[in-house]
Amino acid sequence: MLGAIAGDMIGSRFEWNNYKGKDFELFNEASCFTDDTVLTVAQADSLLNKVPFAHKLKEYYRSYPDAGYGGSFHQWALSGSEAPYGSWGNGSAMRVSPVGWFFEDLETVLAEARNSAAVTHNHPEGIRGAQAVAAAIFLARKGDSKTAIRRFIHSRLGYRLDFTLEQIRPDYRFDVSCQGSVPQALQAFFESVDFIDALRSAVSIGGDSDTIACITGGVAEAFYGGVPAAVAEEVWPRLDSLLTRVTRRFRERVEAQ
């Protein structure tokens, strides 16, 4: 899931200051983790320790209350309830990458992606977004081609991927819905030639840049066989001790499978 974290960090400084190009410095002093990373690691922690997703999401929120959460998640995390709130937002998709890595068959990945989303994002679009990203990661790490991944996402989950980044870039705007950001993030992966190009492409369309790049990075890591060392060397120092420890434990668990 380091690819998702890298995408979050690279996209973080462009979320409110979109840049519609690919010629930017990947990291600078403003590059940092946001709620995308925090909740991704929270879900990895849930899987590692067999703790319900909702418990860890709330626990990590309390540890990182200023990471930039959406308003509805903020209210849910502060409440005494674990009832979902019907969101179709891309939060379910941004945090799902651990699910795509943790399980060893596609149907389980789809079921657990649904479970991970539904604790908050129990709207059909929130669930579909999480399932699409988790499935893409699973298929990519199992060696499927981009064509096969694209075909599955369209036939099983119904996302239309019949556009190019060049076509949408001029008019694409901030959209926090799964249906308005997950296909775009996946298309950035499909058009890429390597991991770094995928993240540059994700940022270049604008919109919710950290989340789009987080999603793209998660799939790109699985497809291209990891995160380049030069990128990883920028990511690790930007994580604190808790996020580092859980991320390393998760990587070790996956590598041991």
The pLDDT tens digits for 147-195 are 999 999 999 999 999 999 999 999 999 999 999 999 999 999 999 999 9
pLDDT greater than 90 at residue 126: yes
Q: With respect to residue 20, please indicate whether it lies within any of the assigned structural domains.
A: no
The pLDDT of residue 257: 79
Cα 138 off chain centre by: 13
Phi first, then psi: give them for residue 94, nearest 5 degrees: -70, -25
Q: With respect to residue 226, please indicate whether it lies within any of the assigned structural domains.
A: yes
Q: What is the b/e burial string over 105-122, where b = at least 16 CB atoms within 10 angstroms of the residue's CB?
A: ebeebbebbbebbbbbbb
pLDDT digits (tens, 9 = 90+) for 197-246: 999 999 999 999 999 999 999 999 999 999 999 999 999 999 999 999 99
What are the angstrom distances between the C-alpha of 186 and each of 24, 82, 140, 149?
21, 30, 12, 10
Calculate mean pLDDT across residues 115-130: 98
The pLDDT of residue 203: 98
Q: With respect to residue 19, please indicate whether it lies within any of the assigned structural domains.
A: no
Cross-strand partners of 177: 89
Calculate mean pLDDT across residues 48-68: 97
Read off the CATH number of the domain in which 69 is found.
Answer: 1.10.4080.10
**8 A C-beta contact, residue 195 and residue 228:** yes
Q: With respect to residue 150, please indicate whether it lies within any of the assigned structural domains.
A: yes
Give the chain's end-to-end CA distance (angstroms, integer): 15
The pLDDT of residue 85: 97
Q: With respect to residue 193, please indicate whether it lies within any of the assigned structural domains.
A: yes
Alpha helices in 19-94 (DSSP H): 35-49, 53-63, 71-78, 91-94
Q: With respect to residue 195, please indicate whether it lies within any of the assigned structural domains.
A: yes
Q: How many helices (H) and strands (E) does the chain have?
A: 15, 0
Specify the number of domains making up the chain.
1
Comparing CA positions, the residue from 105, 116, 130, 127 lying closest to residue 42 is 116
Calculate mean pLDDT across residues 57-86: 96
Q: With respect to residue 81, please indicate whether it lies within any of the assigned structural domains.
A: yes
Q: With respect to residue 22, please indicate whether it lies within any of the assigned structural domains.
A: no
Calculate mean pLDDT across residues 41-67: 98
Domain extent at residue 241:
2-14+31-255
